[in-house]
């Protein structure tokens, strides 16, 4: 046993003072009596000249000495050394992502992680010891946030831990570890303690870095079923209805029978029984009438360990006609694909582009360079603006297709198998876009948003390829029309992952001076807007659900969801991979110096109550 405050033993000098009080004779009270015959012994004591008396056996004395001894030991803060390192700086990271709400730990994984972190706080060596330690506390929830800067003050660390809150967002552990790695880079006597279940954690970027990480795993099982995708589209067979596509994943090892509910603005529309196979993902499609703009909600009734992914919502806006201008020298394949891309497409064709094209929702440039580039959304085929790409525009002959991103909305149900290309423009992928289709030397298809203008660029002439002969070509064109449609871009603005900031341009709303946001739990937030404000930004979206906005006379809504299969897979990880050549194994040891002062203080309280009881028993 060691002591963090050994100077407290100076208070032990008060122990002899208690004994002295019991050696002193009591002061007698003068009373008049008619005879001293019966008081001879009393007179002998009062006539003794010595001020002290013989120490007699007294339970009160023993209890008071024991009480004082326990208080001195509590003040000295004894501890037993555990398995903790001797790091001068400990950076504690608490995972506050959605999976930490799982109830396989009592009451939740997050509370279990908090209690273990508090034990680590209790084990800090502070005070007058030469090996004084400091701790920095971070919480990785909707954002990576430093809750308490480096300090040796345990009370401040405990307050910061108690103030931490779990969120419904995907994990942000990589951001927190990036900050922690920076703080420990030049400090060899420092270490990082991560309290997490490991769900959705990707540490491959730390493969070549000296990450002194201690992984404290929480969680015991992976019993969870969750909604991992949700999308709403016009029903191609009945434009009066909407089609909702959702996927439900079962991450447990047993099959589960459950019910999926569809609601519109809180009113139940339809229910479907679903059997979820073990460790499988099941697609579910709803067809529903939509009388007005509103919010569709899909709800899962399965009872599992995580509730945050059992519900997801999407804002659905009534479809509007899509006005498309095709600028081409004659591409019947493309013209036919555009005309059939959606039931509400209004297609016009031209051989050149002029400023009158501004009235269209999107412009398709098919191997026809314009005199002035469109300011609206554009699909550019075998033409490129020099403002889009850095490093110039070259060419490449017969580029083979080596990869494509089929997870992007533009490539949904699109395959490039057996597609040959005669030649293509060669560029470097710009910072504002992502490459969707790749050749060994250049991207062939890129898409992104530049200054609120959505752009899809195809580097090759489709007529100089076999692509128009494949079924994937009209599917891609339909996806492109939907993605480039300004109404779709507007609807996408109202869907976000929990924890992401909501941004709304104010150009269509005049000059509002304030906005009110009602969160899913009913809390109303007032947001002042300056006279020059061009955008409403709201960042308090850590909880999933529907947020309502009152902006002047306008009533809007946006939805925050989890929709993350990695986060919904709550099976705790035994190790974290640091790329191909490293891993961090979860520790099962309590890495702390365990202080015992609380037990001594509790013992002192018990002794004080016993002393009080014994005193009153004697005098009763």
Q: What is the distance of C-alpha 350 from the center of its chain?
A: 49
Query: Tens of pLDDT along 291-311?
Result: 899 999 999 998 999 999 999
Q: What pLDDT score does 131 carry? A: 63
Which residues make Cβ contacts (< 8 Å) with residue 414, sequence separation at least 6? 404, 406, 472, 475, 476, 479
b/e code 17-32 from CB counts within 10 Å (16+ = b): eeeeeeeeeeeeeeee
Question: Cβ atoms within 10 A of the Cβ of 40, count?
Answer: 8
Q: What pLDDT score does 29 carry? A: 66
Q: What pLDDT score does 39 carry? A: 63
Q: What pLDDT score does 269 carry? A: 96
Question: Cβ atoms within 10 A of the Cβ of 334, count?
Answer: 23
Q: What pLDDT score does 81 carry? A: 47
How far is CA 579 from each of CA 154, 206, 207, 215, 576, rounded to the nearest angstrom? 35, 7, 5, 16, 9
Question: Cβ atoms within 10 A of the Cβ of 92, count?
Answer: 27
Q: What pLDDT score does 64 carry? A: 77
b/e code 155-182 from CB counts within 10 Å (16+ = b): ebbbebbeebebbbbbbbbbebbebbbe
Alpha helices (H) in 14-130, listed in sequence order = 14-23, 40-47, 59-76, 109-122
Q: Given the structure tokens 């946030």, which residue do they identify?
A: 145
Domains and CATH numbers, the chain: 2-78+598-619 (no CATH), 89-222+570-592 (3.40.50.410), 227-319 (2.60.40.10), 322-479 (3.40.50.880), 491-561 (2.60.40.1930)
Q: What pLDDT score does 499 carry? A: 93
Q: What pLDDT score does 277 carry? A: 95
Grouped pLDDT means (10 residues each) for the chain, 620 residues: 72 76 64 66 55 62 79 74 64 95 95 94 72 89 91 94 94 87 85 89 73 89 95 78 93 95 96 95 94 94 94 90 92 94 87 72 93 91 91 91 92 92 95 95 95 93 96 94 86 90 86 91 92 89 95 92 94 81 59 60 82 72
Q: What pLDDT score does 355 carry? A: 63
Q: What pLDDT score does 83 carry? A: 47
State pTM to two decimals: 0.71
| Token code pair at residue 582 | 């490293």
Q: What pLDDT score does 357 carry? A: 47
Rg (CA), the chain: 36
Q: What pLDDT score does 87 carry? A: 76
Q: What pLDDT score does 588 carry? A: 47
Q: What pLDDT score does 377 carry? A: 93
| Token code pair at residue 305 | 């360990």
């Amino acid at each position: 046993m060691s002591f963090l405050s050994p100077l407290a033993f100076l208070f032990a000098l008060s122990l002899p003072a208690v004994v002295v009080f019991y050696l002193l004779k009591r002061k007698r009270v003068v009373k008049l009596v008619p005879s001293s015959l019966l008081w001879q012994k009393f007179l002998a004591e009062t006539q003794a000249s010595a001020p002290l008396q013989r120490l007699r056996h007294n339970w009160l004395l023993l209890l008071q000495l024991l009480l004082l001894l326990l208080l001195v030991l509590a003040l000295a803060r004894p501890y037993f050394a555990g398995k903790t390192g001797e790091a001068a700086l400990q950076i504690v990271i608490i995972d506050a992502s959605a999976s930490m709400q799982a109830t396989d730990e009592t009451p939740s994984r997050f509370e279990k992680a908090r209690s273990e972190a508090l034990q680590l706080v209790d084990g800090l060596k502070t005070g007058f010891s030469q090996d004084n330690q400091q701790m920095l506390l971070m919480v990785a929830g909707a954002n990576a946030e430093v809750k308490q800067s480096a300090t040796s003050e345990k009370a401040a660390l405990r307050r910061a831990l108690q103030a931490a809150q779990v969120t419904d967002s995907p994990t942000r552990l990589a951001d927190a570890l990036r900050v922690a790695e920076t703080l420990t880079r030049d400090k060899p006597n420092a270490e990082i303690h991560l309290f997490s279940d490991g769900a959705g954690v990707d540490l491959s970027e730390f493969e070549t870095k000296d990450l002194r990480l201690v992984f404290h795993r929480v969680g015991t099982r992976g019993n969870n079923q969750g909604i991992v995708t949700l999308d709403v589209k016009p029903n191609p067979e009945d434009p009066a209805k909407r089609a909702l596509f959702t996927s439900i994943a079962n991450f447990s090892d047993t099959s589960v029978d459950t019910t999926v509910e569809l609601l519109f603005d809180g009113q139940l529309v339809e229910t479907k029984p679903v059997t979820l196979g073990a460790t499988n993902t099941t697609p579910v499609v709803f067809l529903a009438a939509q009388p007005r703009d509103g919010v569709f909600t899909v709800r899962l009734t399965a009872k599992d360990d995580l509730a945050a992914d059992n519900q997801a919502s999407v804002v659905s806006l009534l479809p509007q006609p899509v006005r498309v201008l095709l600028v081409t020298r004659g591409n019947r394949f493309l013209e036919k694909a555009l005309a059939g891309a959606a039931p509400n497409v209004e297609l016009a064709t031209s051989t050149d582009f002029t400023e009158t094209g501004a009235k269209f929702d999107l412009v398709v440039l098919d191997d026809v360079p314009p005199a002035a580039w469109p300011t609206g959304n554009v699909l550019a085929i075998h033409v490129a603006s020099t403002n889009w790409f850095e490093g110039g525009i070259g060419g490449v002959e017969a580029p083979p297709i080596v990869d494509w991103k089929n997870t992007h909305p533009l490539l949904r149900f699109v395959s490039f198998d057996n597609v040959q290309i005669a030649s293509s423009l060669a560029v470097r992928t710009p910072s504002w876009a992502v490459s969707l289709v790749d050749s060994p030397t250049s991207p062939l298809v890129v898409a992104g948003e530049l200054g609120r203008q959505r752009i899809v660029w195809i580097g090759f002439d489709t007529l100089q390829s076999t692509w128009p002969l494949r079924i994937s070509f009209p599917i891609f064109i339909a996806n492109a029309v939907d993605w480039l449609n300004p109404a779709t871009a507007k609807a996408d603005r109202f869907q976000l992952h929990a924890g992401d900031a909501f941004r709304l341009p104010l150009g269509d709303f005049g000059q509002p001076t304030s906005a009110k946001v009602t969160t899913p739990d009913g809390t109303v937030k007032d947001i002042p807007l300056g006279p020059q404000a061009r955008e409403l930004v709201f960042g308090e979206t850590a909880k999933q659900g529907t947020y309502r906005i009152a902006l002047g006379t306008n009533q809007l809504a946006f939805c925050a969801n989890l929709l993350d299969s990695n986060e919904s897979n709550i099976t705790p990880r035994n190790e974290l991979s640091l790329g191909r050549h490293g891993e961090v194994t979860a520790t099962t040891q309590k890495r702390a110096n365990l202080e015992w002062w609380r037990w001594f203080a509790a013992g002192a309280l018990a002794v004080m109550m016993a002393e009080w009881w014994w005193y009153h028993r004697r005098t009763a």
